[in-house]
């Protein structure tokens, strides 16, 4: 019978026979990156999804009639529809955890197990889930990506102009843009043009910020790549830079008007990330992205079911061997019923 692959084979030299290894009791993460957007959503905009066919959020898309009148005028009384609703399906994700019973029940146990394989695998599963959700927060959940989160690619679009992933999203929340509802679900992509296609100017950056200011509503969370933040830093004189930490999410950002600019290693840009293909990272080769977001308009829905709200199925034993497998699960989605308060600039090259 063949010995396990991790069995030490052959004639041992004296040093190997008499001296144990010193195993550092930790596993360092050389794969996962950091994302302030998902951290912000989980800290401030988390909503429980209790069940139902979909997540529906209603919105006003037109003003009522009326106007000035003189004495004796008659009033039109035709009823006008001004309210409708967007709908989002909860999206489901899994991360598999598979092990051999022989390895965890015989070998990796007791005082000889400096590191628990099971604990490390469960931590890795949680980190992998967070990475996948963070990456998909920036992408779309339509067409070929129907199983994925309905993220910023479709939120920050006007249904007419292509965005950073090359897509033009004519519907959002299953509601057609630019039809009956007009521009009610549109994010600005002009004034200034969303596709910078070159160096980012302070003028374009400031105009983009003010294009999504409505009354007291301002973009307060701005997300870019590390390289994008470096480009922005270069636009400011040293005395104009002001870095501060958001205590809610623990990230340090550069102050700009009433918002903070944070770097994300998962925001679409020219740089790849470790194991990006496996995680689903979508690289925008043309340049960096910069998002202007009003976080009060976002909601991150997570199922209140203990299993689908970041739960683990438990291990299931194979019928013909001692392999055990379980799944770490998520069900939920991201919604934003007011895309007009957020926008994107992309293809930033300097």
pLDDT above 50 for 194: yes
pLDDT score at 5 = 53
Using pLDDT thresholds of 50, 70 and 90, give the confidence band for residue 215.
Answer: very high
- Confidence label for 250 from pLDDT (cuts 50, 70 and 90): very low
Q: Are 235 and 205 in contact (CB under 8 A)?
A: yes
Cα separation, 251 vs 260, in Å, equals 10
pLDDT tens for 32-65 read 577 889 988 998 999 999 999 999 999 888 888 8
The backbone torsions φ and ψ at residue 106, rounded to the nearest 5 degrees and listed phi first, read: -105, -50
Predicted pLDDT at 235:
79
- pLDDT beyond 80 at 205: yes
- State the pLDDT confidence band at 8, using cuts at 50, 70 and 90: low
- Comparing CA positions, the residue from 141, 143, 108 lying closest to residue 27 is 108
Q: What are phi and psi of 237, to 5 degrees?
A: -75, 150
Specify the pLDDT at position 1. 42
Judged against a pLDDT cut of 60, whether residue 188 lies above it is answered with yes
What pLDDT digit, counting tens, does each position of 306-323 carry?
A: 999 999 999 999 989 999
pLDDT-derived band of residue 239, with 50, 70 and 90 as boundaries?
very low
Q: Is 19 exposed, middle or buried (0-12, 13-18, 19+ CB in 10 A)?
A: exposed
Least trusted range by pLDDT, from 25-34, 144-153, 214-223: 25-34
Whether 304 shows a pLDDT value over 70: the answer reads yes
Contacts of 320 (CB under 8 A, 6+ apart): none
Q: CA–CA separation, 218 vs 211, rounded Å?
A: 10
pLDDT at 238 over 60: no
Q: Higher confidence at residue 235 or residue 28?
A: 235
């Amino acid at each position: 019978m063949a010995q396990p692959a991790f069995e030490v084979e052959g004639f041992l030299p004296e040093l190997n026979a008499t001296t144990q290894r010193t195993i550092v009791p930790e596993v360092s993460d050389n794969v996962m990156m950091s994302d302030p957007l998902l951290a912000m959503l989980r800290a401030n905009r988390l909503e429980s999804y209790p069940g139902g066919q979909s997540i529906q959020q209603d919105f006003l898309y037109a003003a009522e009639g009326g106007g000035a009148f003189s004495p004796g005028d008659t009033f039109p009384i035709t009823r006008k529809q001004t309210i409708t609703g967007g709908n989002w399906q909860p999206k489901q994700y899994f991360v598999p955890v598979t092990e051999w019973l022989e390895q965890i029940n015989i070998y990796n146990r007791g005082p000889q197990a400096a590191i628990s394989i099971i604990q490390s695998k469960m931590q890795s599963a949680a980190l992998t889930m967070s990475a996948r959700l963070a990456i998909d927060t920036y992408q779309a959940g339509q067409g070929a990506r129907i199983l994925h989160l309905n993220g910023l690619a479709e939120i920050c679009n006007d249904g007419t102009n292509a965005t950073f992933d090359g897509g033009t999203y004519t519907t959002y929340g299953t509601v057609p843009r630019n039809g009956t509802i007009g521009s009610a679900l549109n994010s600005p992509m002009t004034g200034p043009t969303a596709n910078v296609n070159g160096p980012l100017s302070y003028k374009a950056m400031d105009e983009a910020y003010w294009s999504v200011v409505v009354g007291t509503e301002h973009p307060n969370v701005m997300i870019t790549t590390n390289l994008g933040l470096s480009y922005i830093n270069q636009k400011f004189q040293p005395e104009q830079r002001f870095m501060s930490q958001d205590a809610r999410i623990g990230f340090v950002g550069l102050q700009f008007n009433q918002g903070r600019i944070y770097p994300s290693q998962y925001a679409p840009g020219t740089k790849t990330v470790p194991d990006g293909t496996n995680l689903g990272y979508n690289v925008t080769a043309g340049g960096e992205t910069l998002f202007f977001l009003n976080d009060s308009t976002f909601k991150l829905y997570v199922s209140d079911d203990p299993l689908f709200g970041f739960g683990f199925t438990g291990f299931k034993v194979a019928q013909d061997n001692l392999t055990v497998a379980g799944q770490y699960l998520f069900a939920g989605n991201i919604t934003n019923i007011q895309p007009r308060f957020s926008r994107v600039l992309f293809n930033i090259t300097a």
